[in-house]
């Protein structure tokens, strides 16, 4: 009878050893999925974060809802806003080209039957040449009851 008990104990130890070895072997094949963040995603995320951070900052003159609205309002009045352009240029990597424009959505909505969207699109800054892959970020801004869409196009070279 003792021989059977010892044999059963030995079987349990062997089975436990086989189970542990198989678990260790299978665990060796365990891999975590790695998602590689591509350059396209980085640039698009950077453009979105530039506009979001400007939207989150308060207007220094406390008249408008955000610094982004202030920059846009100054751009509408002066046709170009150097501080807005400099902010974006300093935030982007060196050598990255960009284009900033806005669309007066309110004006287009009123006259959409007789005009095209291009008539309501105004360029704040445009590079001499647009080269590379394009990534577009945009935000909606309301200024004095008028709705505007700010569009930031970033051009970059994947090479």
pLDDT tens digit string along 94-131? Answer: 878 899 988 888 877 666 666 676 777 788 888 877 77
pLDDT tens for 54-104 read: 898 888 888 888 888 888 888 888 776 788 888 888 888 887 889 998 888
* pTM confidence score: 0.68
Confidence at residue 36, expressed as pLDDT on a 0 to 100 scale = 61
Confidence at residue 152, expressed as pLDDT on a 0 to 100 scale = 92
Domain ranges of the chain: 1-31, 39-156
Cα separation, 18 vs 107, whole angstroms = 75
Write down the mean pLDDT value for the chain: 81
Cβ neighbours around 50 below 10 Å, total: 20
pLDDT bin (cut points 50, 70, 90) of residue 150 is very high
């Amino acid at each position: 009878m003792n021989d059977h008990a010892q044999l059963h104990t030995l079987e349990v130890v062997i089975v436990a050893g086989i189970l542990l070895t198989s678990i260790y072997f299978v665990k060796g094949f365990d891999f975590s999925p790695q998602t590689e963040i591509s350059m396209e995603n980085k640039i698009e995320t950077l453009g979105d974060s530039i506009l979001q951070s400007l939207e989150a900052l308060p207007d220094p003159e406390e008249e408008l809802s955000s610094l982004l609205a202030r920059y846009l309002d100054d751009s509408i009045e002066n046709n170009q806003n150097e501080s807005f352009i400099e902010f974006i240029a300093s935030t982007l990597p060196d050598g990255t080209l960009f284009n900033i424009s806005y669309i007066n959505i309110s004006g287009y909505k009123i006259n959409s039957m007789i005009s095209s969207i291009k008539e309501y699109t105004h360029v704040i800054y445009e590079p001499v040449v647009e080269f590379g892959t394009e990534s577009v970020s945009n935000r909606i801004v309301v200024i004095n009851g008028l709705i505007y869409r700010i569009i930031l196009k970033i051009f970059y070279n994947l090479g």
